[in-house]
Amino acid sequence: MDTAEIEVFLVLAEELHFGKTAERLRLNQPQVSRLVARLERRAGGALFDRTSRRVRLTPLGQQLRSGLQPGYAQITAALKAACVASRGVTGILRLGCLFTVAGHALTRLVEEFCARYQDCELTMHTVETRDPYAALRRGEVDVLASILIVDEPDLTAGPVFDYRDLVLAVCRGHRLAGREWVCVEDLGDEEVSANAPTFPAALYDAIVPPVTPAGRPIRRTYPWTDDEDVMTAAARGQIVHPQLVGRTRSDLALVPIRDQPPMPLGLIWCTAHENARIRAFTGVAAAIGPRPPRRTATPTWTASPSSSAAATVGSQPQPPLSSAPRTACSTAVGGAWGSPGSRYSPSNASDGWAISRRTHPRCGHEAECAVS
């Protein structure tokens, strides 16, 4: 298949306008039409419905776009990385990192970049959680590893390198501490920390929705002075604290939030500060890509009979969960446990884990949970 056909098809599927597609690709409109017609002959059917007023994808076109996009993105990212490598990348790349997103995926990305670009020195810097973009804007770091939910006009959101689940941190004696999972609706009965004025509102709303699915306000009351203070307040039972899985303390229990999607972790940089080093680093991230989103085990689960140790957060084999349709207690953002591409599907129910239907104590919806 001609790569020109793929490129024209994907751009036209985005623009849904032959003239704009031709202008964007610096082709004339008859060339665009010929390439689309050639691809339609290969596919064996029409990919677009064309009228004098509009262009739209046919079901066959939608299927082809879904299949082509990931592979084409990897090809272009690999070519981009190769072009940067051929020009040479030298100097120092300063990578900022929120301590909550550090882990194996980021280490893997850093090691791969350093192996490919040995003439470029990479230094890592922890940035302040309460004002994560300040170091970028002050020019103290070149690129930031953070949760990739960005609504800032001066920043570019780059490739995803990992996904991380959200859990609810509660004190050991809390009523929710023994649950296998909670819903966002449970937060309507609790208090959480208030957002800091310098923390991005869009990002905070993704972690702590302002209201529950039933429309009840989530009380954001506790003043956020620093991260340890918030964790201590959760350990004392003053609040509950939604957070990324991975960080824990012995005086806290982490309970999965079932209807919150895994958070994408990715790279962010100031658009005006982009340079060859940033392009090289993000090119490597795009080329190697993230592992598929997956839910991780929590201390509320015990290990399978074949295992000698209890399951712990993020470090031991995780129990499979069903791909059953999500219920009304799920939020609209998607990504429930057992979603397509997740390791949690019925075919993975093995290693001593069984699937048990449980009823959520508040909303009454049934869900399938893994139990040993």
Please spell the DSSP secondary structure of 32-101, one letter per residue. Answer: HHHHHHHHHHHHTS-SEEE-SS-EEE-HHHHHHHHHHHHHHHHHHHHHHHHHHHHH---EEEEEEE-GGG
The CATH number assigned to the domain holding 47 equals 1.10.10.10
pLDDT at 190: 95
How many other C-beta atoms can be found within 10 angstroms of the C-beta atom of residue 345? Answer: 15
Q: Please check whether residues 146 and 281 belong to one and the same domain.
A: yes
370: which 2 tokens? 């893994």
> Which residues, including other chains, have CB under 8 Å from residue 315's CB and lie 6 or more apart?
none
Q: Is residue 360 one of the residues assigned to a domain?
A: no
The per-residue pLDDT for 72 is 87
* Assigned domain for 317 exists: no
Q: Are residues 143 and 156 in the same domain?
A: yes
Mean confidence (pLDDT) of the chain = 79
Identify residue 93 by its one-letter amino acid code.
L
Distances from the Cα of 64 to the Cα of 72, 82, 102, 220, 237, angstroms: 12, 27, 36, 45, 51
Return the structure tokens found at 200.
């991005």
E strand or H helix at 222: strand 219-222
pLDDT at 1: 63
Angle at alpha carbon of residue 192, lines to 190 and 193, rounded to 5°? 165
- Residue listed under structure tokens 């995803």: 160
Examine the domain organization and report whether 248 and 267 are in the same domain: no
Query: Is 185 within the bounds of a domain?
Result: yes
Q: How many Å apart are CA 2 and CA 68, to the nearest integer? A: 13
∠ CA 292-298-301, nearest 5°, is 115
Q: Within a domain: residue 127?
A: yes
The Cβ of residue 350 has, within 10 Å, a number of other Cβ atoms equal to 10
Token digits of residue 75: 């090809």
Q: Alpha helix (H) ranges present in the chain?
A: 3-15, 18-25, 29-43, 59-87, 104-116, 134-137, 201-207, 227-235, 276-288
Which parts of the chain register pLDDT below 70? 1, 84-87, 292-372
Residue 347: its pLDDT value, please?
27
> How many residues are given for the chain?
372
Residue 298 in tokens: 């929590």
Phi–psi pair at 32, nearest 5 degrees: -60, -45
Residue from 155, 159, 150, 238 nearest 194 by CA = 238
For residues 186 and 52, state if they share a domain. Answer: no
What are the φ and ψ backbone dihedral angles of 368, each rounded to 5 degrees?
-100, 125
Residue 52 lies inside a defined structural domain of this protein: yes
CATH number for the domain that contains residue 227? 3.40.190.10
3-state helix, strand, coil in the chain (%, to 5): 35, 20, 45
State which residues form the domain around 111: 88-162+263-288
Domain assignment of residue 137, yes or no: yes
Q: Determine the pLDDT at residue 253.
A: 94
Residue 87 is predicted with a pLDDT of 64
The total of structural domains in the chain comes to 3
Would you state the structure tokens that stand for residue 139, as one six-digit string?
């020019």
CA distance 246 to 227: 14
Asked which of 235, 256, 277 is the last residue of a domain, the reply is 256
Residues 273 and 148 in one domain: yes
3-state secondary structure of 128: coil
CA dihedral defined by 107, 153, 137, 147, rounded to 10 degrees?
-30
Assess whether 123 and 270 both reside in one domain: yes
Residue 81 lies inside a defined structural domain of this protein: no
CA-closest candidate to residue 168, choices 159, 155, 177, 160: 177
User: Which two structure tokens, joined as six digits, stand for 246?
Assistant: 């991975």
pLDDT for position 310: 29
Provide CB contacts within 8 A for 308, sequence distance 6+.
none
Query: Is 53 in the same domain as 174?
Result: no
216 and 176 belong to one structural domain? yes
Residue 327 in any domain: the answer is: no
Same domain, 230 and 155: no
Q: Residues 64, 47: contact at Cβ < 8 Å?
A: yes
The per-residue pLDDT for 85 is 62
- pLDDT on residue 300: 31
Task: Determine the pLDDT at residue 86.
Answer: 60
Are both 277 and 156 inside the same structural domain?
Answer: yes
Q: Identify whether residues 235 and 172 lie together within a single domain.
A: yes
Q: Which of 256, 271, 306 is the last residue of a domain?
A: 256
Considering the domain architecture, whether residues 136 and 188 belong to the same structural domain is answered as: no
